[in-house]
Structure 1
């Protein structure tokens, strides 16, 4: 098994759960030295019987990735490597596309060449009707996965979920820090809502989807009702034994570039059906021309390499016509 982005929040928890399954070998790929070392050291403590191999690497480095896959012949690939910070990526299109699009294409193509059985793409609800560059790049990654499934024997699966509690950059650790410093808690908008799930739930969803059967599929978690971020902030203040406004105030700062008031887990053309797993739903993929998608993705990646922002915008809107840019504040 291979996990890319193994040192990240989702990647590291996924590695912990995979290690409990006692795979023949668990290959951890990440370009962050410290995060990779940390998860490898942790696994060596509680999963001593598993052959864990931490490898520094860039998912866009096709020569290095090909060498890793040809040498170790993995059967299952969990592609969790991605940039995910919405406001930060709005002004860094090249890096967002390089990592989220070109990186996905590279790992997917290497997986096919190495005759991997299954490729699981970790995606996000921000890929549905995206208003951010990050969401648009993740939607392109979904399209690449779907297109390659149609032309290979490797089974391609996409897993899409909302915000993960406690992950790096999420609101919960931010709110905890702001409360510990005496406030204020900063919330972008009083009506903003998000779907939330725990890290364990997110990774359980990924593992369930990997064995659910259907290729060319998008799996989503039935996450119940969305949560108002302002209500979450109030609850965290109360749980800290403090009073709203008297002890800790809430400050509304305005939506940031690329942000939505509310997220969606599936597109209106993706009809949902149940699976054998209680909280796991199957979203029927939209029809695509796989050859055209792959050709357009190549053009997008080329424009990214040339720093051609005009062509980048054109190709993103061509691949993801529902993408609408937002400029808040």
Structure 2
């Protein structure tokens, strides 16, 4: 409050000084060097009287209730009123006291324009200087703004652009405007061009994609655009280019202060990617799934449930949902009942560890396509429970793969992870073993393999999945912070769940045609890795707060088995492009089926008996990159004889 009080008085003193010098300056502009012939007492008297009059007028009209940084048209109007009254009163006073005999009649008019320039110009200069300093600060901080394209060139768009250009904390950058009418095309709004009308939206997006800012990541609709008859078409276009859709706050909300103009609600998690999402050939995926019997394991998980949603939209003959978690299975089953009540489906409680249960499901429901998403994925938990990770991730995959082989399933798709490359933890090693098993089956001769195609799809982290960093950051933000990051330099690849599943479906479509012949696996192109600490800062900004000021970011140290960076490819498996953008093909080493079957049998024995040291030793035989933790580091596992064995945590 004190700071605001002092600033308003500084502004008041500035304006009084400008008022004091405005009269002699106006007289000088009128008569030039002839001002020396005017009586000094007349000039001093007029200047003094005007200064007193101006002081009262300026305060009365509220010139100091506004903030110079946010000077607008309303402030200019208030200045004009105050200056007009002050000049008019001075004119009357001088007429009554001296009949204006000595003063040129045009001097008050000149003084009016001069004082308007002195007062308004100072405010404008201050605002420009502050806005430029903000822009420089953003450049110094390396803040990456989300590029957005506005539909609608009305007052709402103008207000939003003005605020985004003025604020240091806005996460959005408007790079273009598409108008609903022809009238404003070719014009400019706060430095942003009105590029075209909405019927040319797709052309505009393609043009921007080749420009300096790249593809807009958001398509933002004004209120008028939301009511436009073509808005359904814009949704399709945005979806095709991997752009998210949002709407501006209502103009009335902005004027009344009921909404923050810098927040486009809702904030979409896709904004955190740093790249547009991939969009694929859905007709080919529909051809693969339509009319087929489909089974999804791990159907209640983050990836599994999204697989169920997207598969259901393609019209399968039937859909079987398998999961060991009762509540997760119930949730996705209820969702399907509401959205696709006519789709034949079965929800089965079952564990992929249970070979007998898996066989029963295959015998009863006879799937033609199987998506295997069931897995333990949390690195620290699997590191502390290695036998459980092997039983589910590795041996569970074997059970599903052998059931597919026995039942003559057309395609089995294994969902893998980037942690399987040079694994530094048990979870990554368990998934690499699962990859090896499916690769070995895929390389068998047809008379041994049967008709099943074994397709492996490897990708990194998905934004928003249960237990992942984004939901953790959200919970920490809601609690007021701090946001915890294990290391300042840690990076990860990211996709949205929907994008990952679309690419999985596209990979499955490619794989059923034999693209993975010889044990090749699909790897999803995830763009550049993202620094987790930058992700934390971006989430804080998207919440309208400032990192390290409103919300602290705390570095806690790497967890057991955690790597600084993940890899999508081994050094010996250079990626090869496929006919589908976003899907690459790798050829990691393949283990002989006879050898892998022998080791898996031994793994089953050691993991079932919870013989941890033997389990870790067997893992390293097939995955030499994996180095078992040293025995003796305070994490207790039960050994096969019931005694406690220490292993690294």
Q: Which residue of 2 aligns with 1:178?
A: 476
Q: Which residue of 1 aligns with 2:564?
A: 261
Distance 2:304 2:476 in 1: 26
Please tell me whether the aligned partners of residues 616 and 628 of structure 2 are also in contact (alpha carbons under 8 angstroms).
no
Report how far residue 47 of structure 1 moved.
Answer: 1.6
Distance 1:82 1:280 in 2: 22
Report how far residue 290 of structure 1 moved.
Answer: 1.9
Matching of residue 282 in structure 1 with residue 575 in structure 2: no
Within 5 Å, which residues of 2 pair with 1:234-253?
Answer: 234-253=537-556
SS at match of 2:599: helix
Please tell me whether the aligned partners of residues 258 and 325 of structure 1 are also in contact (alpha carbons under 8 angstroms).
no
Q: CA RMSD in A?
A: 1.4
Q: Which structure 2 segments of 5+ residues have no match?
A: 1-293, 634-647
Could you give the per-residue CA deviations for residues 85-126 of structure 1, whole angstroms, max 9, x where no partner exists?
101111101111111111111111111111111111000000
Aligned pair partner of 1:204 in 502, 520, 525: 502
SS at match of 1:211: helix
Q: Which residue of 2 aligns with 1:37?
A: 330
Report which stretch shifted further, 113-122 or 287-296: 287-296
Distance 1:294 1:268 in 2: 26
Within 5 Å, which residues of 2 pair with 1:293-304?
Answer: 293-304=596-607
Within 5 Å, which residues of 2 pair with 1:77-88?
Answer: 77-88=370-381
Please tell me whether the aligned partners of residues 486 and 559 of structure 2 are also in contact (alpha carbons under 8 angstroms).
yes
Aligned pair partner of 2:575 in 269, 272, 277: 272
Report how far residue 324 of structure 1 moved.
Answer: 2.9
Report how far residue 141 of structure 1 moved.
Answer: 0.5
Report how far residue 248 of structure 1 moved.
Answer: 0.5
Report how far residue 325 of structure 1 moved.
Answer: 4.7
Aligned pair partner of 1:167 in 460, 465, 472: 465
Report which stretch shifted further, 135-144 or 283-292: 283-292
Distance 1:88 1:310 in 2: 17
SS at match of 1:268: coil
Within 5 Å, which residues of 2 pair with 1:1-329?
Answer: 1-151=294-444, 152-153=449-450, 154-212=452-510, 213=513, 214-215=515-516, 216-325=519-628
Distance 1:60 1:186 in 2: 34
Relative to the length of structure 2, the TM-score reads 0.50
The count of residues paired between Structure 1 and Structure 2 equals 329
Distance 1:93 1:103 in 2: 14
Please tell me whether the aligned partners of residues 570 and 588 of structure 2 are also in contact (alpha carbons under 8 angstroms).
no
Please tell me whether the aligned partners of residues 100 and 141 of structure 1 are also in contact (alpha carbons under 8 angstroms).
yes
Q: Do the aligned partners of residues 250 and 14 (structure 1) sit closer, same or farther apart at CA in structure 2, a change above 3 Å counting?
A: same
SS at match of 2:408: coil
Q: Which structure 1 segments of 5+ residues have no match?
A: none
Report how far residue 311 of structure 1 moved.
Answer: 1.1
Please tell me whether the aligned partners of residues 5 and 29 of structure 1 are also in contact (alpha carbons under 8 angstroms).
yes
Distance 1:115 1:67 in 2: 15
Larger radius of gyration: 2
Relative to the length of structure 1, the TM-score reads 0.97
